[in-house]
Protein backbone atom coordinates (compact mmCIF):
# COMPACT_ATOMS: atom_id res chain seq x y z
CA UNK A 1 0.00 0.00 0.00
CA UNK A 2 1.11 3.51 -0.77
CA UNK A 3 0.87 6.13 1.96
CA UNK A 4 1.07 9.72 0.78
CA UNK A 5 1.63 12.32 3.49
CA UNK A 6 0.63 15.80 2.46
CA UNK A 7 -1.41 18.90 3.21
CA UNK A 8 -4.65 20.15 1.71
CA UNK A 9 -3.12 23.46 0.61
CA UNK A 10 0.10 21.95 -0.84
CA UNK A 11 0.34 22.11 -4.64
CA UNK A 12 3.29 19.69 -4.68
CA UNK A 13 1.10 17.23 -2.76
CA UNK A 14 -1.62 17.60 -5.40
CA UNK A 15 0.95 17.07 -8.15
CA UNK A 16 2.28 13.90 -6.51
CA UNK A 17 -1.21 12.52 -5.92
CA UNK A 18 -2.10 13.14 -9.59
CA UNK A 19 1.12 11.52 -10.84
CA UNK A 20 0.76 8.55 -8.50
CA UNK A 21 -2.84 7.71 -9.40
CA UNK A 22 -2.22 6.03 -12.78
CA UNK A 23 0.78 4.05 -11.49
CA UNK A 24 -1.15 2.86 -8.45
CA UNK A 25 -4.04 1.85 -10.72
CA UNK A 26 -1.70 0.07 -13.14
CA UNK A 27 -0.25 -2.05 -10.33
CA UNK A 28 -3.48 -2.36 -8.35
CA UNK A 29 -1.97 -0.73 -5.27
CA UNK A 30 -4.15 1.17 -2.81
CA UNK A 31 -3.24 4.73 -1.85
CA UNK A 32 -3.89 6.13 1.62
CA UNK A 33 -3.69 9.94 1.60
CA UNK A 34 -2.90 11.38 5.03
CA UNK A 35 -3.32 15.10 5.69
CA UNK A 36 -0.60 15.76 8.25
CA UNK A 37 -2.46 18.82 9.55
CA UNK A 38 -4.88 16.45 11.31
CA UNK A 39 -2.14 15.06 13.57
CA UNK A 40 0.34 17.18 15.55
CA UNK A 41 2.88 14.34 15.61
CA UNK A 42 2.85 14.15 11.81
CA UNK A 43 3.23 17.92 11.53
CA UNK A 44 6.24 17.70 13.85
CA UNK A 45 7.72 14.87 11.77
CA UNK A 46 7.06 16.11 8.22
CA UNK A 47 6.02 19.79 8.43
CA UNK A 48 7.37 21.41 5.25
CA UNK A 49 8.88 18.18 3.88
CA UNK A 50 5.62 17.10 2.27
CA UNK A 51 4.71 15.41 0.11
CA UNK A 52 6.28 12.17 1.28
CA UNK A 53 5.37 8.89 -0.43
CA UNK A 54 5.83 5.53 1.26
CA UNK A 55 5.35 2.04 -0.14
CA UNK A 56 4.66 -0.53 2.57
CA UNK A 57 6.18 1.85 5.12
CA UNK A 58 9.41 2.57 3.20
CA UNK A 59 9.99 6.06 1.80
CA UNK A 60 10.03 6.20 -1.99
CA UNK A 61 9.74 9.93 -2.82
CA UNK A 62 9.90 13.26 -1.05
CA UNK A 63 8.79 16.60 -2.53
CA UNK A 64 8.48 15.41 -6.14
CA UNK A 65 7.12 12.25 -7.76
CA UNK A 66 9.86 10.08 -9.26
CA UNK A 67 8.23 7.60 -11.63
CA UNK A 68 11.37 5.48 -12.03
CA UNK A 69 11.91 5.18 -8.26
CA UNK A 70 8.29 4.26 -7.69
CA UNK A 71 8.36 1.59 -10.39
CA UNK A 72 11.69 0.26 -9.09
CA UNK A 73 10.23 0.03 -5.58
CA UNK A 74 7.22 -1.84 -6.92
CA UNK A 75 9.42 -4.18 -8.97
CA UNK A 76 11.58 -4.93 -5.92
CA UNK A 77 8.45 -6.14 -4.12
CA UNK A 78 7.31 -8.53 -6.85
CA UNK A 79 5.34 -10.73 -7.04
CA UNK A 80 3.29 -8.76 -4.53
CA UNK A 81 3.00 -5.85 -6.95
CA UNK A 82 2.87 -6.30 -10.69
CA UNK A 83 0.92 -4.64 -13.48
CA UNK A 84 -2.68 -5.73 -13.77
CA UNK A 85 -3.32 -8.48 -16.31
CA UNK A 86 -4.10 -7.37 -19.83
CA UNK A 87 -2.27 -4.05 -19.76
CA UNK A 88 0.84 -5.34 -21.50
CA UNK A 89 0.16 -7.76 -24.25
Q: For residue range 40-83, list pLDDT tens digits in order.
A: 999 999 999 999 999 999 999 999 999 999 999 998 886 666 66
- The model's confidence at residue 89, banded by pLDDT at 50, 70 and 90, is very low
The answer to whether residues 50 and 12 touch, using CB atoms and an 8 Å cutoff, is yes
Query: Mapping DSSP to helix (H, G, I), strand (E, B) and coil, where does residue 21 land?
Result: helix
The pTM of the full predicted model, rounded to 2 decimals, is 0.86
H-type alpha helices, 1-89: 11-27, 40-46, 67-76
Ordered domains of the chain (ranges, CATH): 2-76 (3.40.30.10)
Distance CA 65, CA 83 (A): 19
Express each pLDDT in 30-47 by its tens digit. 999 999 999 999 999 999
Amino acid sequence: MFTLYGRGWCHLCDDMRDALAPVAAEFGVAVDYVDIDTDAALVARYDEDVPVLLLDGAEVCRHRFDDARVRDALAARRPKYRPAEGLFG
